[in-house]
Amino acid sequence: MASSPSYDLNRVRAAARADTEVNFGFWAYLMSDVVLFSMLFLAYVNLSQRFAGGPTPADIFSLHGVFLETMALLASSLTFGLAMVSLHQGRKNHIIGWLLATAVLGIYFLWHEVSEFVHIIHEGASFTRSGFLSAYFGLVGTHGAHVFFGLIWIATMIAQLAVKGLTPPVASRLARLSLFWHFLDLVWICVFSTVYLPGILAGGSS
Amino acid sequence: MFGKLTLDALYHYDPIIVFANVIMIGAGVLVVALLTYYRKWGYLYREWFTTVDHKKIGVVYIVIALIFLLRGFIDAAMVRGQQATVGAGGEGYLSAAHFAELFTGHGTMMIFFMAMPFLVGLMNIAIPLQIGARDVSFPLLNAISVWLTAAAGALVMISLLVGSFSEAGWSGYTPFSGLEHSPGPGVDYWIWALQISGISTTLTGVNFVTTILKKRAPGMTLMRMPMFTWTVLCTSILIVVSFPALTVALALLALDRSVGTHFFTSIMGGDQMMYINMFWLWGHPEVYILVLPAFGIFSEVVTTYCNKRLFGYTSMVWATMAIAFLSFGVWVHHFYTMGQDPLRNSIFGIATMVIAIPTGVKIYDWIWTMFRGRIEYKLPMLWTLGFLITFVMGGMSGVLLAIPGADYKMHNSLFLVAHFHNVLIPGTMFGLLAGFYYWWPKVFGFRLDEKWGRHSFWGWLVGFYVAFVPLYMLGIMGMPRRMVTYDNPTWQFWLVIAAIGAIIVAYGIFSMFMQIYVSWRDREKNADLTGDPWGGRTLEWAIPSPPPEYNFAVVPEVRDRDAFMEMKVKNRAYERPAKYEDIHMPKSTPLPIVVAALSFFFGFAYVWHIWWLAGLCVLGTVAAVIARSFNDETEFVIPASQVQADEDAFHARLKQADVFTYIDGIQEFGDERTPAGQYVSPTSRATSGAPG
């Protein structure tokens, strides 16, 4: 066992349940985030054909890059799941390990997204170019910002695990971070199927 | 260094604004001086700025609301004054720009900084008490919410001094609110004031959904919740689901204005109608967010002062949920004239009219509750009766406006202005004022003065009719809203009458402040010894006034919808356990005021494009939250001996007020079947200082 049994594992497990009071509150917050993203999807779908004579999705998206990005994020959901399995086993160092793996995949995703943004902007397709591009950067950027805050949160939790150990409050926070991270994955799947797939399909092969 | 902020921002073209600033700064300096002179800063910091106690947070919300009630009313009075005095073709005493700031400020402040904080304040005070809880689910988040609201209000206030406020109306329609047509800082102030208060409200919604669903006392099933709790649950769900739409609309508008995106512009592929759709996707549910809790307050008031169970509780619950659900399907009725096809307009028109059905159910439930009740005409009952009659009128004009064909004639006319004031003033304001009087003794331990309260009621009611019936007339006569001047001389007569109405409402507001002062002066005489001044039926009346920090010494067990009434009937009210236990309560913390201050400076920095400061504020907020998350010692213990001592004192007061004799006299729940002979009037019993 990696960590000392100075805490009660049953209390740790109970704190990580999805239906505790504080975790229920986080579900309620996630519902508000669902609406927030819905509005951005609405904006994107509404503006997605308003090119103002500028580039179209097929001109700027590359399915190849997005595929790698997507796989990284999906894999990060798996690694976070494994972190939660370790939590239920009470293995602190395993949790830290899986959280680090999640963070690496998340950083790869974010790095990829930022370089894609930089590339698109360099091609003269900045968010000021057209309604379509504003909506694209707005939606994908908001998701990216969420991932960024998720990464800060992961770093914080790694620090708390190291300093405090696997206490019930730490386990409770990990449970919420887990909800948050899986939620971002879910949103990304919607982004992929709303933004990239139709955009590329409409313009023929990439 | 300071972005767009230069000394020019302090220059004001209008002597009236300079005068208003002198008043505002003078009042601020006076308050600071008095607090320093009486050495109250430490007390304020310990007891109010850092508190996480839901009751005190509720009071802070209502203080914010009352300040903005005055500011919002002054704006309204100036608008009325301009239109009454300008005469056909005249210039009047206000410039067009200042006039536009006034009607924008009036709407923004009354909705976001008067009605919402007032409402959330009453929610904070009453909900944990009604469900038998010791606090809300997230006391720290609750404190962050209240101070964020204060920070947002401060942004509105500072816009008076530094720069100017928005001229784009409270709904800030694009493209007028875009950079091209509104290049000044006004719209940015408006955006960030709303954004910060909107985030505060979203957090409040999350908090109260969780509190109501997770913190109810044992035995309180959903269908045993008091009606106010039900309406607040529905409102909180509406908040969680609708406020993000406002957040997104404002964020995208801010991006359009600051980095040049094209979400809502009229060029380069932007879609200005998208803003209007998003705004009302939030805006229409917002109407019900404001009105549903007021409906809950009326339900509490009617049952208490008619000494009866609520008639048709189940239908009231379903009506509340139906209204909450339907509120998401009607937003297009705010812009029938903006180019949808007739089919779409018809669908939204019918959906709008359908809302009248559950609302009608509620009206009948209240009437049937009064029927054969022993009505005590206390002040909240007057507000309720005033509401019933006035609100039905407003609802009728709403059904009229819901017909797209008719709306084409009425759109953006004063008829519309009369309509929404006719639902919001009785529907929300009267409810808030009824709740204010109803729960005041619970919070402060003494009753509010009845006489000045009645002056306030009649001022509001008569003033409302005199001020707004003329606006219906003017709307039918074709006068558009938001006119700084006009060329039709027949309008002025009605506008003068409307201005007289505003003066009568001013008397109502004055009387309310007099009521507070007089009641405070006579607080000994008006003291509420028992914690149950009205013969209440729900749990908040089972505990002392003001309640101890932990609310309930022992978490009560609920066996009936009218939980406290059941305890009185079954003679188990005020039962004491063999032994009290230690109680854990959350500690005070300065984090909320730190986060609020950073939000204020973030908003200010964004308005003036001082990017380094905005960045620092974001970093500071993240750092403060992370630092706090490392602190697991967030609770302190109130020892059982302290609880025991509090309860001993309370029971001594109960004996002194002869409460137990009174409880012995209560045999029935007091529904319409109760024989008249058994009836004991709760407020005619021998308590000290029964109100006159």
**What tens digit of pLDDT does each residue of B272-305 get?**
999 999 999 999 999 999 999 999 999 999 999 9
Question: Taking CA atoms, what residue in A is nearest to B202?
Answer: A32
Residue of B249, B261, B267 with shortest CB distance to A127: B261
- Report whether A190 contacts A41 (CB < 8 A): yes
3-state secondary structure (DSSP) of residue B558? coil
pLDDT exceeds cutoff 70 at B684: no
pLDDT exceeds cutoff 60 at B689: no
- Sorting pLDDT into bands at 50, 70 and 90, what band is B8? confident
Tokens of B140: 């720290």
Asked if the C-beta of B51 comes within 8 angstroms of chain A's C-beta atoms, the answer is no
Q: How many CB pairs under 8 A join A and B?
A: 117
pLDDT at B372: 84
Sign (positive or negative) of CA dihedral B243, B247, B248, B249: positive
pLDDT exceeds cutoff 90 at B18: no
Asked if the C-beta of B206 comes within 8 angstroms of chain A's C-beta atoms, the answer is yes
* Mean pLDDT value of segment B661-672: 70
Asked if the C-beta of B624 comes within 8 angstroms of chain A's C-beta atoms, the answer is no
Torsion of the alpha carbons at B155, B22, B98 and B415, rounded to the nearest 10:
80
DSSP result, B529-551: SSS-TT---SGGGGS-SSPPTTS
Backbone φ and ψ of A177, nearest 5°: -60, -40
Cα gap B497→A100, rounded to integer Å:
71
- Sorting pLDDT into bands at 50, 70 and 90, what band is A1? very low
Q: How many percent of chain B have pLDDT more than 70?
A: 97
- Report whether B146 contacts B169 (CB < 8 A): no
pLDDT at B495: 95
Element (H, E) at B215: none
pLDDT at B219: 93
Among chain A, residues having any CB pair with chain B shorter than 8 Å are 21-22, 24-25, 28-29, 31-33, 35-36, 39-40, 42-43, 46-47, 50-52, 54, 127-132, 134-135, 137-138, 152, 156, 160, 163-164, 167, 169, 173
Asked if the C-beta of B215 comes within 8 angstroms of chain A's C-beta atoms, the answer is yes
pLDDT exceeds cutoff 80 at B338: yes
**Cβ count near B653 (within 10 Å):** 18
Cα gap B236→B114, rounded to integer Å:
18
pLDDT exceeds cutoff 60 at A38: yes
Q: Could you give the C-alpha distances from B544 to A5, B496, B664, in angstroms and in order?
A: 45, 49, 19
Q: Tell me the pLDDT of chain B averaged across its residues.
A: 91
Asked if the C-beta of B205 comes within 8 angstroms of chain A's C-beta atoms, the answer is yes
pLDDT exceeds cutoff 70 at B270: yes
* Mean pLDDT value of segment A67-96: 94
Cα gap B210→B427, rounded to integer Å:
26
**Who wins on pLDDT, B668 or A6?**
B668
- Report whether A90 contacts A166 (CB < 8 A): yes
**Cβ count near B200 (within 10 Å):** 27
pLDDT exceeds cutoff 80 at B683: no
Which amino acid is present at A91?
R
Please give the DSSP secondary-structure letter assigned to residue B114. Answer: I
Cα gap B243→B114, rounded to integer Å:
17
pLDDT at B457: 97
**Who wins on pLDDT, B439 or B669?**
B439
Cα gap B586→B138, rounded to integer Å:
10
What are the tens digits of pLDDT across the range B433-475?
999 999 999 999 999 999 999 999 999 999 999 999 999 999 9
- Sorting pLDDT into bands at 50, 70 and 90, what band is B670? low
pLDDT at A124: 86
Contact residues, chain B, for A137 at CB < 8 Å: 261
pLDDT at A200: 79
- Sorting pLDDT into bands at 50, 70 and 90, what band is B681? very low
Residue of A46, A128, A169 with shortest CB distance to B261: A128
**Minimal C-alpha gap between A18 and chain B (Å):** 13
pLDDT at B68: 96
Q: What pTM, to 2 d.p., does this model score? A: 0.93
pLDDT at B677: 39
Asked if the C-beta of B344 comes within 8 angstroms of chain A's C-beta atoms, the answer is no
pLDDT exceeds cutoff 80 at B159: yes
Asked if the C-beta of B4 comes within 8 angstroms of chain A's C-beta atoms, the answer is no
Q: Do B240 and A40 touch (CB under 8 A)?
A: no
pLDDT exceeds cutoff 50 at B530: yes
pLDDT exceeds cutoff 90 at B535: no
- Sorting pLDDT into bands at 50, 70 and 90, what band is A203? low
Indicate the range of B63-77, B138-152, B554-568 predicted with least confidence. B554-568
pLDDT at B687: 43
Tokens of B190: 């408006």
Q: Do A32 and B202 touch (CB under 8 A)?
A: yes
Cα gap B434→B453, rounded to integer Å:
10
Closest CA to B2 of B185, B181, B154: B185
* Mean pLDDT value of segment B30-59: 93
Backbone φ and ψ of B604, nearest 5°: -60, -45
* Displacement of CA B655 from its chain's centroid (Å): 37
pLDDT exceeds cutoff 50 at B675: no
* Mean pLDDT value of segment B152-164: 92
> Which residue(s) pair with B88 in the sheet?
B486
Cα gap A164→A159, rounded to integer Å:
8
pLDDT at B91: 86
pLDDT exceeds cutoff 90 at B243: yes
pLDDT at B434: 96
